[in-house]
Structure 1
Amino acid sequence: MLEQLAINSNTYHGYSLEDAVKGARKAGFTQMELSAVKSHTAHVLAEMSPKELNSVKELLRDYGMKCVGIGAHSNVMKEEGITNLLKSVDLAVEFDCNYIITATGDTHEVADVIDDQKVLVANLEPIIEKCAKLGKVLVLETHGHNFPTGTSLIKLVQSFNNRVKINYDTANVIFYGNTLPYEDLEASIDYVEFIHLKDKLGLYNEWNFPAIGEGDLDFTKLFGILKKANYKGPISVEIEFTPSGPANLEEVNQSVKRSFSYLSKLISAWKRKL
């Protein structure tokens, strides 16, 4: 599973994509999920010029970093969110990756309540059609109060006849859903095709997402669930720290390095026991 690991560039929120690529590559990562969220972490955007996009591609090539997904969180309950996500599908073509990642509401706000799922389904349909036409997969993240867990997303995903999958965030299910990820992941794993691997400390609704291995989650148990299900998709590591954020770039880099080291040792030791 080491070959499935990637780093979510949102880990470097507040820093440049060059900072993210350099730091993650030095830590040992060779794959990256590019954050394309205009209101939060805009490392790539659909509005970028061909020259700007080529510069990003050159940066990735120079550091031997492959893009595995575009994190294009958009509020698809609003017209501008639908438009943004449609345009963002083109980024997956630009960077030759299979996945577009979004939730259903704002990036971090969770005030919107989806009363009628039929509206959401209708809003997502043109995006799904474009993904299908271009050979891309839309994955919906466990995020917000409407769809905080894997099991809460199953019915929605089923309504799209296997054309949409789940992006399972191992810490969001705690933060938004007050649910530990183990049984929930097992129950929804057949629909999961992308993982946000995130650790969690503190109360369930406390924003505290440290380096992997420094929180409360049992990653040996989580990897066991993935192995049993023969999960083959990306495992994108995300560190979101606390509300105050990291002190500096060095703290981010060290957290990324410790996360990769922890996961490398865990996966190697786990494989020897099989």
Structure 2
Amino acid sequence: MDWPIVVGLVNYQGYGIDQVFRNLYGLGAEYVEVDYIKTPLGVVNEYGLTHLNESDLQKPKDFFQLLNQYQLKALTFSGHVKLSIEEDVELFLKKMEFAKKIGVKYITTGEGPAEKRQEIFKHIRWIEKKARELDLLVCLETEMSNTLITRGTEGIPIINEIASPYIKMTYDTGNIYYAQKGNIDIIEDLRSAIDYIEVIHFKDPYIIDGTIQFGEIGKGEINFFELAKIMKAKGRIIPITIEIPYFFQSNQWGPFEVSEKILPIEDVNRLLSKSIGFIQDLFKE
């Protein structure tokens, strides 16, 4: 089976699209996850890591041409908004249209505060209608804290209630680990929820002296060997997105702060190259 390994643009904090694509081409990457997101719950200061803005949504042809120039495909789109807020949802619908035009198959969003469940479900109905029109899969992500879905098993009844083939889940290993403060059997959680998941974010937390950060895949707290076994046993392809937001830092499970530190692009490339190699080895037949 050919497992799509997708590189999230979020890894390249502080670098422009053209430079990022040029470096991904040099790494031999095939798939990218585009990002246009708002400040996620669980992060305290302004989240300035997105590579697109609203004006870019008017220029899908330009973006698609840039992808083609570097022989890249946009398979997934990180388009997080708070689904409890109507204005956010209206913007998300525009992101969906843009995503479809650049060849995206899966678009991910967070949900919003758990106490806003009624508003979230109302807006999901709008999104589901648009997803059906576009033939685009919308994936609700397991997010970091105080959100509707913070682990796989929490998402099962929600996806069942929505009951649409166009609304599924994105499973984020690092988010789940943080949201549960490390007190979760991620292997069993994934095993329980795997039938509801269409995209998996490989994100690996490290804990050093009480500080939680993210780094090279396969070197932190997550047992990706066992997760890969579960994925392979299902016999269907689930895209894997690599996310290494090294600039996130949480002290003693507190809210994440976003550092302004920008690694040299060569260092980011090394982290990604090693992570890609690790994942390729996991999924060798």
Partner in structure 2 of residue 109 of structure 1: none
The CA deviation at 1:152 is 0.9
The CA deviation at 1:165 is 0.3
1:186-235 alpha-carbon deviations (Å, 9 max, x no partner) = 111010001111111117x8441101122122221111010112231211
Partner in structure 2 of residue 177 of structure 1: 180
Partner in structure 2 of residue 159 of structure 1: 161
After TM superposition, list the pairs within 5 Å mapping 1:234-273 onto structure 2.
234-243=239-248, 244=259, 245-268=261-284, 271=285
CA contact under 8 A between 1:77 and 1:104: conserved in structure 2? yes
Partner in structure 1 of residue 36 of structure 2: 36
Moved over 6 A (4+): none
Partner in structure 2 of residue 54 of structure 1: 61
TM-score under structure 2 normalisation? Answer: 0.84
1:219 aligns with 2:224: yes
CA contact under 8 A between 1:27 and 1:260: conserved in structure 2? no
The CA deviation at 1:180 is 3.9
Unmatched tracts of structure 2, length 5 or more: 39-46, 249-258
**CA distance in 2 between partners of 1:241 and 1:215 (Å):** 12
Q: Secondary structure at the match of 1:247?
A: coil
Cα 1:258/1:191, change in 2 over 3 Å: same
Cα 1:141/1:75, change in 2 over 3 Å: same
1:47-80 alpha-carbon deviations (Å, 9 max, x no partner) = 3265x43332222111110110211100111122
CA contact under 8 A between 1:207 and 1:242: conserved in structure 2? no
The CA deviation at 1:242 is 3.9
**CA distance in 1 between partners of 2:135 and 2:10 (Å):** 25
The CA deviation at 1:20 is 2.2
CA contact under 8 A between 1:171 and 1:181: conserved in structure 2? no
**CA distance in 2 between partners of 1:136 and 1:7 (Å):** 20
TM-score under structure 1 normalisation? Answer: 0.87
Query: RMSD value over aligned CA atoms?
Result: 2.1
The CA deviation at 1:22 is 2.1
The CA deviation at 1:41 is 3.1
CA contact under 8 A between 1:174 and 1:180: conserved in structure 2? no
**CA distance in 1 between partners of 2:82 and 2:211 (Å):** 23
Aligned-partner residue type, residue 170 of structure 1 = T
Q: Secondary structure at the match of 1:120?
A: helix
Partner in structure 1 of residue 130 of structure 2: 130
The CA deviation at 1:81 is 1.1
Comparing 18-27 with 158-167, which one deviates more in the overlay? Answer: 18-27
1:120 aligns with 2:120: yes
CA contact under 8 A between 2:83 and 2:111: conserved in structure 1? yes
The CA deviation at 1:19 is 2.6
Structure 1 or 2: larger strand share? 2
Number of residue pairs aligned between Structure 1 and Structure 2: 261
CA contact under 8 A between 1:12 and 1:19: conserved in structure 2? no
CA contact under 8 A between 2:35 and 2:79: conserved in structure 1? yes
The CA deviation at 1:142 is 0.4
Partner in structure 1 of residue 42 of structure 2: none
After TM superposition, list the pairs within 5 Å mapping 1:12-27 onto structure 2.
12-27=12-27
1:198 to 192, 196, 203: 203
Partner in structure 1 of residue 139 of structure 2: 139
Partner in structure 2 of residue 80 of structure 1: 87
**CA distance in 2 between partners of 1:180 and 1:143 (Å):** 16
The CA deviation at 1:119 is 2.3
Partner in structure 2 of residue 110 of structure 1: none
